Chains A and B, each alone.
Chain A
């Protein structure tokens, strides 16, 4: 497990100057989205080590191209299975002085993200490590026009399954909203929580925002117990702090479940909270069957993110 007893965590916004420097290690996903290697390409020359987590999707959309690029640029390809909780850390983490790490969350599925974060947090031995979580927003692609069946519904991994609590404790759902039709509503119907905090992302491309609102309108039609909270993808540090503060205010009296649908940046925040405040948070994932028509994502050229500082003693 991750020993938090001798650590302090803080979250900060990122300036563009900060991310221009060198990194000890960069982690990203070799996936099927076109934007998969967007950030990796940018930091290739500024990183001592660059690790590509192979999501293994041969023949699917841009995967073959992304894998070829990784191999031809000396990216250390790590199989997804090597991140498994029961395995040793597959990365060489910097043990001396300060560490600067970068995690590109853009194309990572939530489970892989949770395992990667676990390995990175567990492997941090420097007295101070800065972990930059970056996200490359994509150009708008319309979502599937129908409900997509779920392929999996359960904790994101077996560390983040939460802890059983006094049965009198009400369940509070921290729900990240995505633009998939009906998914958030289905989650609420499944859990039947006492209260829902629904986090609606606001980005630059308003088409995403409109689609998120449209897809989730029924969630708010019986809004007595659903609170809507907007967060900006341009200010993710603020969102992380908000998430953490709300959780801490409810921690003692409720069973907390995070279901981070929507942008992976929000998922990374939820997963981080899960590890930092283990075992009080259950982080749940629902993965839907892939809809190839709406799955391709091209980076719009911008980058957003936040910095996690880990001080150990």
Chain B
């Protein structure tokens, strides 16, 4: 079970198991991976049209009728997927590939037999001697299902028995269909033990009743059938253990999480992917550092490998940050005094003391960049003023910051880095010299990606409660982002300001739904507990931080700090957030 937010690579990983993708794969890992494969992938993607069928109550239909119609659609798509897989295994190009030829079958010799047998299993009427005709009949089946749906809605058919009447195919059950299809194909091609892997993508899109059926199929004992499912993190109905019969992670399936709570892991993966982009564009001789430059001091997670000179007064980079804030921010000055940190002595401190100070660097940086210390009002320690915010700050540029922002999410990595690498390549080709991609251009590209991302988030509808209470994804994100900004930058200096939250019991169901949608889009990342355990799928009592992709928009440091109950954030005064960067 692949679990990850949008853009984390679930679909790509599943699709890559298909023979057509394996043929084109050129990674050095390919040979070892393909040698291990002992199944043929059958890829099936859920479709938005399935849920949109039942999203309205104009002419309601019973839950049971909805279930069998949704099931019929899903089964038909499964049947299409098997046809695609049969087409793939009969591709003669496989014979030229020493690792893939083991999957080849000359299906043409048994086409008529397979098609007739499958048509019979799938309850498709009439003579079906070819794959073309079989495929066409599946198209007619979809049309029948559509017509059936309309008949039910128009009142011409009501109740399950009437629906079943002339349409026995509605009773095909997923698990049985799977088994009989595999039995049929294997018998026809003379490979009775051939293994098949059904890759079901975007499980969260399909209706709940169907999702449970597919999920339960993970407990199948047929050794020829493997299931690989992909799912967004927030799918409450699957992970809340109301029912003891649901498959269990570690026993019935292996969960694979495609998100990185720790930025070091995300950066490592991001670097690998970015380097592969360089290879793809024939820029192997250039390094990411050369193309994007290093990030400014304390923009991203500071390393402990920096020389002691960076801590030394008066010109060490890290010293200067501390000294400047010490001068401008009375609350930071008080903090240093209280802890008895003498920043002039940093080179002489023990490594553990310096490590404590190192943890503060990003907070210090954020306060220096985003707080206007020239304006003092009232108790200036707790009510700072924000600097004008028009563009993405250059602090988020440079390769370390860029990779941190991308969170190891392939879509974001490609969205931010790919166009920039492309423009670098064009520049190199035109001018025969390699100049780094300038910071302003990097910032603009981040802005473009964030704009698209926020636009997507804005189209996720309200979650509504029966009480009428509403919660929207955007407002939730903005409220949390603004709260964290105030705590990091505007309030009294804290060594660990609030940069994460725990979903406590006071958070409403509508807010939970909105939060779940946001998590599925990658806006919040689960922070594992101290033991490193993940409570994936469960929201209440879990701890989350904001995605670093949104850090430039809210001017937050690329780190996570103290936690607070989410209800405390949501009940605090809300500062309206405007995006006028268009």
A interface, CB within 8 angstroms of B:
1, 84-86, 145-155, 157-159, 161-168, 181-183, 185-187, 189-191, 214-215, 217-218, 221, 255, 279, 282, 284, 286, 288-289
Closest chain-B Cβ to A279's Cβ sits at a distance in Å of 5
- In whole angstroms, how far apart are the Cα atoms of A286 and B456 in the complex? 12
Residues in A whose Cβ lies below 8 Å from that of B456? 185-186, 189-190
Identify the interface centre among A158, A161, A183, A279: most chain B CB within 10 Å of its CB.
A158
Closest chain-B Cβ to A19's Cβ sits at a distance in Å of 32
Which residues from chain B contact A185 at a C-beta distance below 8 Å? 451-452, 455-456
Instruction: Give chain B residues whose Cβ lies under 8 Å from the Cβ of A162.
Output: 49, 52
Smallest CB-CB separation from B72: which chain A residue? A164
Known contacts: A147-B455, A163-B142, A186-B455. The answer to whether A221 contacts B582 by CB under 8 A is no
* Chain A, Cβ-Cβ closest to B43: A167
Known A-B contacts A166-B135, A183-B458; the reply to A158 vs B146 at CB < 8 A is no
Chain B positions 133-151 with a Cβ under 8 Å from a chain A Cβ? 135, 138-139, 142-143, 145-146, 150
- Tell me the nearest residue of chain B to A218, going by C-beta: B451
Does B582 lie within 8 Å of A84, measured CB to CB? no
Q: In the complex, are the beta carbons of A147 and B580 less than 8 A apart?
A: no
Q: B460 contacts the other chain (Cβ, under 8 Å)?
A: yes
The 9 A-B pairs at the shortest CB distance, nearest first, are namely A149-B472, A182-B455, A186-B459, A189-B456, A186-B455, A185-B455, A147-B458, A163-B146, A154-B55
Which chain B residues lie closer than 8 Å to A157 at the CB level?
A: 56, 58
CB <8 Å contact, B452 and A218: yes
* B373: interface (CB < 8 Å): no
* Minimum distance in angstroms from A219 CB to a CB of chain B: 9
The answer to whether B474 and A147 have CB atoms under 8 Å apart is yes
Bound form: Cα–Cα A20–B53 in Å: 42
Task: Determine whether the beta carbon of A166 is less than 8 Å from that of B448.
Answer: no
- Cα A185 to Cα B453 in complex, Å, equals 9
Q: Which among B56, B73, B455 is the interface contact of A158 at CB below 8 angstroms?
A: B56
- For A287, the closest partner residue in chain B by CB is B461
Using A149-B472, A155-B56 as known contacts, say yes or no to A186 and B582 having CB atoms under 8 A apart.
Answer: no
Known: A1-B150, A190-B456, A217-B582. A166 touches B52 (CB 8 A): no
Contacting residues of chain B (430-454) with chain A, CB-CB under 8 angstroms: 448, 451-454
Interface 1/0s, chain B 455-472, versus A by CB < 8 A?
111111110000000001
Output the nearest chain A residue to B577 by Cβ-Cβ distance: A146
- Give every chain B residue within 8 A of A182 (Cβ-Cβ): 451, 454-455, 458, 582
Inter-chain contacts of A148 with B (CB < 8 A): 458
Contact B582 A218 (CB under 8 A): yes
Which of A84, A146, A166, A190 makes the CB contact (< 8 A) with B80?
Answer: A166
**Chain A residues closer than 8 Å to B77, beta-carbon distance:** 164, 167
A149, B52: Cβ atoms under 8 Å? Answer: no
Question: CA separation between A154 and B138, bound complex, in Å?
Answer: 26
B-side contacts of A151, CB under 8 Å? 461-462
* Residue contact B459 to A145, C-beta cutoff 8 Å: no
Residues of chain B contacted by A279 (CB below 8 angstroms): 146, 150
- The residue on B at minimum CB distance from A165 is B142
- The minimal Cβ–Cβ distance linking B105 to chain A, given in whole angstroms, is 21
Whole-angstrom distance between the Cβ of B138 and the nearest chain A Cβ: 7
26 examples of A-B residue contacts, CB within 8 angstroms: A1-B150, A85-B58, A146-B578, A147-B458, A147-B474, A149-B472, A150-B460, A150-B472, A153-B461, A154-B55, A158-B56, A159-B150, A161-B52, A163-B146, A164-B142, A165-B139, A166-B80, A166-B138, A166-B139, A167-B80, A185-B455, A214-B582, A217-B582, A279-B146, A279-B150, A284-B52
A75 smallest CB distance to B (angstroms): 26
Do A149 and B475 touch across chains, with their CB atoms under 8 A apart? yes
> Residue among A1, A146, A168, A288 with the most chain B CB within 10 A?
A146
Annotate B59-86 by CB proximity to A: 1 below 8 A, 0 otherwise.
1000000000000010011001100100
B-side contacts of A187, CB under 8 Å: 459
Interfacial residues of chain B within 34-50, with CB under 8 A of chain A in the complex: 44-45, 47-50
* Most A C-beta atoms less than 10 A away, residue of B53, B76, B84: B53
Q: Is the CB of B52 within 8 A of A282?
A: yes
Q: Which B residues from 458 to 509 make CB contacts under 8 A with A? A: 458-462, 472-475
B194 in contact (CB, < 8 A): no
What are the residues of chain A within 8 A of B58 when measuring CB–CB? 84-86, 157-159
Q: For residue A190, which residues in chain B have a CB less than 8 angstroms away from its CB?
A: 456, 459
Whether B52 pairs with A155 at a CB distance below 8 angstroms is yes
Closest to A279 in B: B146
Complex Cα gap A51–B121 (Å)? 54
What chain A residues lie within 8 Å of B460 (beta carbons)? 149-150, 153
Name the CB-closest residue of B to A180: B458
Contact A189 B142 (CB under 8 A): no
Asked whether, in the complex, the Cβ of B462 is within 8 Å of the Cβ of A150, the reply is: yes
- A287 to B153 alpha-carbon distance, docked (Å): 24
Could you tell me if A186 and B145 are in contact, using CB atoms closer than 8 angstroms? no
Contact call A153/B459, Cβ cutoff below 8 A: yes
Q: Which residues of A contact B143 (CB under 8 A)?
A: 163
How far does the Cβ of A38 sit from chain B's closest Cβ, in whole Å? 30
Q: B154 near A1 (CB under 8 angstroms)? A: yes
Q: Which residues of B contact A218 (CB under 8 A)?
A: 448, 451-452, 455, 582
Q: Contact: B452 with A86, CB < 8 Å? A: no
- Collect the chain B residues with CB atoms within 8 Å of residue A85's CB: 58-59, 153
The verdict on B579 contacting chain A, using a C-beta distance below 8 Å, is yes
Residues of B within 8 A of A221 (CB): 448
CB distance from B86 to the nearest CB of A (A): 14
Chain A residues with Cβ under 8 A from B153's Cβ? 85-86, 158-159
Q: Which of B285-316 contact A (CB under 8 A)?
A: none
- For B45, give the chain A residue with the smallest CB separation: A167
Q: How far is the CA of A13 from the CA of B47 in the complex (A)?
A: 38
Q: Does A167 contact B146, Cβ atoms closer than 8 Å?
A: no
The winner among B56, B145, B146, B578 for most chain A CB atoms within 10 A is B56
CB distance from A184 to the nearest CB of B (A): 8
Hey, which chain A residues are within 8 Å of B145, CB to CB?
164
Q: Mark B515-555, 1 if CB is under 8 A from A, else 0.
A: 00000000000000000000000000000000000000000
Residue contact B48 to A183, C-beta cutoff 8 Å = no
